[in-house]
Structures are given as structure tokens and as C-alpha cells.
Amino acid sequence: MKLSDGVEQAIHCMLMLSGLQADGAMPAAALAEYHGVSTSYLLKHLQALAGAGLLTSVPGPRGGYRLGRAPDKISLLDVVLAIEGAGPAFRCAEIRQRGPNPLPAKFFARPCAVTAAMLKAERAYRDELRKISIAELAYNNPDTELGNAITGRSCTFLERHERRPAAG
């Protein structure tokens, strides 16, 4: 199965946004800069995530995006479905009913073995994605060189680009 580039971008943006303070937000342009992707393409995915309630759009000059719920309440499946849609990846076109000398309709009352197998595999795939939260993925093991590098890079970027309400 091939997922769009938008899924990867969406997941990484969710991870970045999970590092914001509760009242913080990050503009789409900053998220696009950090990930080296097109702002206009990313914005389409951020809007889909907001439409699914996974992100909240914060208007105004100090606005941008923030998580719509706690990172431990957002699964990878939530993100995939927001970007790719809820429909099944496999869509049976019932080609077994085509061609010369088709069998009578009574033989096609139930889905064929191919459809059953594909749907079973998709249920397993979705069940696994449902088990993994953004919070789990956001944790970088600081005891590793890679964990330290990722934390340093993202913390520095967050400090520069996080927008917070003006002190009143």
C-alpha cells in the first residue's frame, strides 16, 4: 500500500506541534520550512488535520496551528484517516463478474476470497496504527546521539518560531 507524502508530513508536523506550550502555535510556513516542504502543499494537509479535530487553527498575527487534543489521544490511524480518508485501501471492482460467459449472480452474493483477505489485512494494519500515539513517537531517547541531535534541532526551532499570546 502506498500512502501519500502528506501522511509523512502530517505525522512529523504533529510531532513538532506536540512540543509546543499549551497556549503556543506555529505557523504553517514555519512547519514547512522545518521539514523542507512546500507551504501550499502542507497547508492542505494541516487544514485536513484541523477539519478532523486533530489540530486547532489559531487566527491572528500570533496564530498558527496547535494540537487539537492531547498527543496521547491522537493515534497514527487518526492522522492517516484525516489525510487519506476513511475509505478502504482495497476496493473490489468485482472483475470476476466480467468477461465471456459470466456466472449467474447467485455466485456473487458474498465477497470473494481476495476481497476478504485484503479487508482482513487492512483491519490488522489499522489496528496497529491505532495502537501508536503521537505522544509515543514524540519521545526521543535523550540517551542516544540521534535523540540528542533531534531534540536540539527541534527545541531550537521551536524557540525561534513558536507563537504565544501577548502578555496582557
pLDDT, tens digit, 9 for 90 and up, residues 68-83: 999 999 999 999 999 9
Query: Would you identify the CATH topology of the domain 5-86+133-161?
Result: Arc Repressor Mutant, subunit A (1.10.10)
Residue 143 has pLDDT above 80, yes or no: no
Domain extents in the chain = 5-86+133-161
The Cα–Cα gap between 35 and 38 comes to 9
125 closest CA partner among 93, 83, 90: 90
pTM score of the predicted model: 0.85
